[in-house]
Structure 1
Amino acid sequence: MDIKQYLDSTYLKTAVQAGLSKSENTVVARGFIQEAIEERFKLIMIRPNMVSLAKKMIVEAKSNLQIGTVIDFPEGKSSIDQKLIEAAQAIENGADDLDFVCNYEAFKNNEIELVKEEILQGTQLGLANNKVVKWIIEVAALTDKDIIQLSSLIKNVVVSNFQQELFPKVFVKSSTGFYKTENNLPNGATIPAIKMMLENASPLSVKAAGGVRTYDEAVQMIQLGVKRIGTSGAKTIANGQNSNNEY
């Protein structure tokens, strides 16, 4: 199976997280973008401050590579207005996909109306600009019941407020890959979590992010019904090898 069109090649470390200077981190990001162009992956997923660079490189290479970026990453606690401002800037800079971090802590605190409103407004902004919108629910921070209910909530907001032909442009996404778990528990996509998401987010698509480190794991996710996979080891996985990358 050629899995490259399922892969969102991902580099989301800040310079501080990578232990690099800003210019060194830009060089690393540039390398990921160039690799994604050459390998013909579906998309390069990068921080908002790298979107303009990616756009320039893609145009110069006459590539079809798409650009994804993260909004309110990694905690998702910002106000709706702050999320929308960041998303609007990313759109202006050339992003194709907007991966919002859902305010999962507000959801856990039963602030359901706040979460519904950010899903509605963020999705509205993305779809109005012909973008793909993904909502990261951070499965490692949630109970099974939370995963089911939050996936259902996102589905219900989208199905109730948007036309059916737009549903394929909205995803529920498992993880940031940056959540700190205790006792080395998985902080990304797991088979049980993905199954719950697929069952409760349908007809929306699901993106598995974090924790997919081998070709066989990627194929298994695709066979379950996942439409996109986020990984910082995209080339390694596509070549049938095991990735040691963290997310």
Structure 2
Amino acid sequence: MNIKNYLDSTYLKTNEQAGLSEQENENIAKGFIQEAIDENFKLIMIRPDRVALAKKMITEANSKVTIGTVIGFHQGATSIIEKLEEATIAIHNGVDDLDYVCNYTAFKNGEIDLVKNEILLGTKLGLDHHKIVKWIIEVAALNDTQIIQLSALIKNVVMANFKEDNYQNVFVKSSTGFYKTENNLPNGATKESIVLMLENASPLSIKAAGGVRNYEEAVEMIRLGVKRIGTSSAIAIANGEVSKSDY
């Protein structure tokens, strides 16, 4: 198994979150991009304002690494109009994957039509431009029943509105990695949450993000059936080391 084919190397901290100046934080982002190029990871996941930078570096290196970004990050509460505008700019700047944060708060509040509409329109924009689309459901904010219901809702919207050959290009993704939990509970992918997603989102693919910090955990996720793993510890995982990162 070439684990690198599954790894979406991720750096999403803002300057404030990193406690760094804009230039210092950009240098870290550049380091992640270069590492993805050097290690030939599947993808570099970067904030929207750095997609153009990643595209430039990858093009100059003649690399096959793809570029992903997050939309509506990290709480997912922005309107679908704002999400579509953000995604459109990312597409213009050369992004390959659009990882939308689903408005899981609206879902929990019973605003199902709102959630269905954003899934439909966000997915359509991505697929119309031949992009991979992922919907982050934030499993740590949901109970098991809600994980099942939201995974199924995304699947049902996609299957009702898009052709079967598009299904492989739409993912349900576990987490942002930035959700604040109480009592130090996991805020990312767990085996239990991933199994629920796999059982209820199929035939869509699953991306496990957050909480995968070593090679063994990554392999376990892949054997369960996930197609992609989002991690800020891609190099540690690829080298068989254990990461102390919180994402």
User: What's the TM-score, normalizing by structure 2?
Assistant: 1.00
**2:92, 2:155 → 1: CA distance?**
27
Query: What residue is the counterpart of 1:97 in the other structure?
Result: 97
1:2: how far off?
Answer: 1.6
**Equivalences for residues 1-247 of structure 1 within 5 A:** 1-247=1-247
**1:95, 1:2 → 2: CA distance?**
24
Question: Residue by residue, what CA displacement relative to the aligned partner does 1:152-208 show, whole Å, maximum 9, x if unpaired?
Answer: 000000000000000000000000000000000000000000000000000000000
Task: Name the amino acid aligned to 1:149.
Answer: Q
Task: Name the amino acid aligned to 1:28.
Answer: I
For structure 2, which runs of at least 5 residues remain unmatched after alignment?
none
1:30: how far off?
Answer: 0.1
Using the aligned pairs only, state the percent identity: 70
Helix, strand or coil for the counterpart of 1:44? strand
1:11: how far off?
Answer: 0.2
Helix, strand or coil for the counterpart of 2:27? helix
**1:4, 1:143 → 2: CA distance?**
31
Question: Residue by residue, what CA displacement relative to the aligned partner does 1:108-140 show, whole Å, maximum 9, x if unpaired?
Answer: 000000000000000000000000000000000
Residues paired across the two proteins, number? 247
**2:152, 2:180 → 1: CA distance?**
25
Task: Name the amino acid aligned to 1:95.
Answer: V
Helix, strand or coil for the counterpart of 1:118? helix
**1:239, 1:161 → 2: CA distance?**
41
Task: Name the amino acid aligned to 1:134.
Answer: K
1:225: how far off?
Answer: 0.2
Helix, strand or coil for the counterpart of 1:133? strand
CA root-mean-square deviation? 0.3
Task: Name the amino acid aligned to 1:62.
Answer: N
For structure 1, which runs of at least 5 residues remain unmatched after alignment?
none
**2:21, 2:183 → 1: CA distance?**
31
Q: Which runs of 4+ in 1 moved over 2 A?
A: none
